[in-house]
Structure 1
Amino acid sequence: MKTLIVIPTYNERDSLPHTIESIRTWVPAAEILVVDDASPDGTGEWADEAAAADPRISVLHRTAKNGLGAAYVAGFTWALERDYAVICEMDADGSHRGRDLPQLLAAIEGGADLVIGSRWIPGGAVVNWPRNRHLLSRGANLYVNAAMGLGVGDATAGFRAYRREALAAIALDDIESQGYCFQIDMTKRVDEAGFRIAEVPITFVERELGESKMHGGIISEAMTNVARWGLERRGRQVRRLLRR
């Protein structure tokens, strides 16, 4: 299946070459789209040079840093305008390993519509995270499942593969979520559209280069939206029960 890997970047000049090299090692036939938010460190310029040397790399330049969710929506829209059967997403900072890509793609070939590379199912692992990040991520996923009942072990994960049909069924232009919240939002929409979601265990490695984009606004957005989505979901369930 023709596969595109979407990689959003902002100041990832040092790490992006390693990420692309890892993809080439483990999934050599995959094509790559770098979505750069006008990185001041020259990431976009490096990506242009890489694309000039490798026809399997494309670059989408955005004029401002408008958030992870908007970058992915731009990349997904670009992919749907072309003939890709599978669209993947992964970080540029090395935290998502190229060696885990084949098992995501195998699960798509096995019939899943969305495959999540999960840290929090048996076999999953996190390397070099401080205790507070462990607690934040695990707590966030427990909160999501308690509020929304998605039944997904790692709804906040950003290492994913989508079957084209699943992305095409989602109104991408309506998505305004960012960060962790974007991943939860996408999981919710795929689930509500009736597509099959699967998880495969991956090893998440804390970045060695660059700086984390995590901040309090991302956490606050996720907590607020998950509470609202949970109430809406439970409300629909109650209404269906009352109509029986």
Structure 2
Amino acid sequence: MQLSVVVPTLNARQRLSRALDALGARLPDAEVLVVNGPSSDGTSGLVREHAAADVLLELPERNLNASRNAGLAAATGDVIAFVSHGSVVRDGWHDALADAIAEGGDVVAGPVHRSVSGGVTTEACETDTVAGRDVTYFDGGNVAFRREVAEALDGFDEYLQTGAARDAAHRLAGMEYEVAWRPDFAVLRTDGDDVADRMADDSDVPAWGLKYRALGYRLAKNYGLRASVAWRALRNALADAKSAADRVFGGDERPSAWVRNGRAVVTGVVAGVEDGLAARRRDRSPRRNPNGVSTRMDRAMSRYEP
């Protein structure tokens, strides 16, 4: 197994340093590619000097999925993993991956441990059935693909500022690829995976709007207009509305904020569904990715080999 590890990053120098230390210690033979968004905290200098980094890609885009796709296009391994800049690979990560690949796994995912007072929490495997399709979700900051699977997907959908890993899970299921969940394929994340949040900081769309635009987009793109899918989006919105209303009645949120967020949800869903249906028309193939690696071959970036 020839392994490449793609690490997207943006203004997270200290966390990236810990992630690279772990990769160097536990995966000394892997090709490590760091894809740096327009950081302003000395990230480039760190990567150029770090022994674990084999390739540094500099992108002008503040887009997590653009970084993931740039790394995918540049990676040379027959297995390509994506690790968050805030994640430290644990002992057993490599062996769990190698075993799953040897058993014929298409995609390998595992838990994300998060530090809490008194110990760590563990992210369990999440599955769902959508329109008759069995979907296994995964964290985009701890997943590995066989190269042919990643290329069949054409990488991640760069339209999405959040939820691209969940979109990829829907598309994998639609193409009948299986996600192998391995408990030992684990990372420790002490600060949360805030890459997407940092890269979305410049967006003029409220957080609720981004979430529901992404939800509407991926459901419409992957399944079209179906009553069961529409109910799924409505059910999510109602649950969030209830939680927000409880905060209003509890005095933790102003009624005006609740109304503003509700408006963002509605406009986000509508915009997402419209764009999702347009994307579905643009790519009628099973991969459902009109904004993937192949559409960005002219991407502007700089490459360095420390």
TM-score (norm. length: structure 1): 0.72
Aligned partners of 2:5, 2:18: CA distance in 1, in Å? Answer: 15
1:113 is matched by which residue type in structure 2?
A: D
**Are 1:104 and 1:160, in contact at CA under 8 Å, matched by a contact in 2?**
no
Moved over 6 A (4+): none
2:116 is matched by which residue type in structure 1?
A: N
Aligned partners of 1:146, 1:10: CA distance in 2, in Å? Answer: 34
Aligned partners of 1:208, 1:5: CA distance in 2, in Å? Answer: 20
Aligned residues between the structures? 211
**Cα distance 1:104–1:180, how it changes in 2: closer, same or farther (>3 A)?**
farther
Shift in Å at residue 234 of structure 1? 6.3
Aligned partners of 1:62, 1:40: CA distance in 2, in Å? Answer: 12
Aligned partners of 1:205, 1:45: CA distance in 2, in Å? Answer: 25
Matched residue, 2:215: 223
Counterpart selection for 1:104 from 87, 97, 102: 97
Shift in Å at residue 209 of structure 1? 9.0
Aligned partners of 1:166, 1:203: CA distance in 2, in Å? Answer: 21
Three-state SS of the structure 2 residue aligned to 1:185 is helix
Percent identical? 24
Matched residue, 2:57: 60
Matched residue, 1:238: none
**Are 1:19 and 1:98, in contact at CA under 8 Å, matched by a contact in 2?**
no
Matched residue, 1:239: none
Q: Work out whether 1:90 is the aligned partner of 2:76.
A: no
Aligned partners of 2:137, 2:193: CA distance in 1, in Å? Answer: 24
2:60 is matched by which residue type in structure 1?
A: T
Three-state SS of the structure 1 residue aligned to 2:14 is coil
Encode CA deviations 1:135-190: one digit per residue, 9 max, x unaligned. Answer: xx99xx67xx2545553453344311110111122234x82243542112222233
Instruction: Give the CA RMSD over aligned residues.
Output: 3.2
TM-score (norm. length: structure 2): 0.59
Shift in Å at residue 31 of structure 1? 1.3
Shift in Å at residue 27 of structure 1? 1.9
Matched residue, 1:17: 17
Shift in Å at residue 17 of structure 1? 1.7
1:225 is matched by which residue type in structure 2?
A: Y
**Are 1:88 and 1:161, in contact at CA under 8 Å, matched by a contact in 2?**
yes
**Cα distance 1:36–1:165, how it changes in 2: closer, same or farther (>3 A)?**
same
Matched residue, 1:30: 30
Structure of greater Rg: 2
**Cα distance 1:150–1:73, how it changes in 2: closer, same or farther (>3 A)?**
farther
Aligned partners of 2:186, 2:70: CA distance in 1, in Å? Answer: 27
2:178 is matched by which residue type in structure 1?
A: R
Shift in Å at residue 106 of structure 1? 2.3
Structure 1: any 5+ residue segments left out of the alignment? 120-124, 236-244
Shift in Å at residue 233 of structure 1? 9.0
